[in-house]
Structure 1
Amino acid sequence: MTPPAATRNWPSVKFSIITPSYNQGRFIRDCIESVKLQTGVDWEHIVVDACSTDETLAILKEYPHLRWTSEPDQGQTDAINKGFHRATGDWLMWLNADDYLLPGALRQVAEFAAAHPDADVIYGDCDFVDENGKFLRHKREFEFDFNMLLFYGCYIPSTSTFYRRSIIDAGVLLDPDYRNCMDYEYCLKLAHAGYRFRHLPATLANFRWHESNMSTVHAVRRYQERLRLQRQYLALRGQACLGKEWLLRLIFYSYKARREFRRRMRSLCTVIREGRI
């Protein structure tokens, strides 16, 4: 949204917020309002809906400033890529329909980007909240480290990560083969290609933790995709990236991941036996 030029007094940068959506009617209004209340920057909000059957479409029609479509897609990754293609901003991010930005988030990113012109990807911190918006815990990030990303997993929260437009213009999009770890795949791909990540030490968004995104089925699939990516990029980078310290960490994280996987598999077997999937 852009007010008259005479009233503008902010960095000359535009943000594109892409929201993939499917039957998140109970949450999407919070998402839309959180973007609508952003001040001090120019922005557009693009919603790519996958033919929702709940109240989502009725809510979208209440907001004439939105650029939205409702059409079949191949999953969340496909929806985000569609949004990237449609975006016109200098900086792009995807904000899931059940998450929401905090006041002043975009202005902080714009100021940080101006102070760090070498940045290709900017990521901030986020808070975890429950389905009612009640605070659960803070997630504070640290400066980018490829080895940590590779061996630990995606510690960079997609809900507070922004990508420079030149990345999209170069044709670098999310890999549609990944439906659960698309953010991990994207960060690994960008970092391996040499794009520069910068951490903004500020809380920019709330990540909503609820029954749908905590499911055991999704957790097992995320684990499988993560292992596939780790094997791929370990092979691409070779053993040169493995110092003694990181070998020890890899052993620790592998052990921890195996324990978690076994726990999840036991839960999945229970879900199957009870006929819940």
Structure 2
Amino acid sequence: MRIGLLADLHANREALTACLKALRRAGCERLVFLGDLVGYGADPAWVVDTVREHVAAGAIAVQGNHDAAVLAPEQARLHEQARAAIAWTRDRLDGEQLRFLRELPLQVAEDDRLYVHANAWDPAGWGYVDSLLAAQRSLAATDRRITFCGHVHEPALYYDSTLPGAAAYFEPRPGTPIPLLPSRRWLAIVGTCGQPRDGNPAACCAWYDTGSRQLAILRVPYDHEAAAARIRAAGLPEVFARRLLGED
């Protein structure tokens, strides 16, 4: 079975639409949404409803820190501009959409895989896997062979090295399938669908094939200028539009 993986959608309708089409073309039979459906972008209601429809059809979704922030903004550890986007977002979600976000699990274990937004050692603490030490900490916190997560906004692949208590890093090349050897344990960060921050405006998603045990990162061009224009028209902070344009 080929599984499509999307993280950090961030209310970006245009990016999500393009990534869903790309994953269908890649032969994905199931979808997993790795959190942060909302925040930053101009289409939170549409994105939440789209994910709800896929979950009703058998997809998996977990809660991200921006999803949690919409539910409890007073507890969120976010910078001022992100807080402004959260307040704007909350006013545009109805009771059913908020309930859907509230009921999302922090993590889901399935077969040899763990799906979580930030990390496996403290899913509700939202710590970043942004170093070898953090990757090893997350790997040590689960008995699953592969952990899939988001939160960092750039794709990355870590695995347990031959040294005790250490992790190693591999930079995935978009479009090139990578065999996740069964003799190792892996942590894959699938990049961000809704808000790339690496200067490349193309959206990011991934697929994992349970038969061949291969992972591929995809970069998907989409109408990022339209998405940025919608952010500006909504009156959201300008920085979120500039990021989509690769300007920040």
TM-score (norm. length: structure 1):
0.29
Q: Tell which structure's C-alpha radius of gyration is larger.
A: 1
TM-score (norm. length: structure 2):
0.32
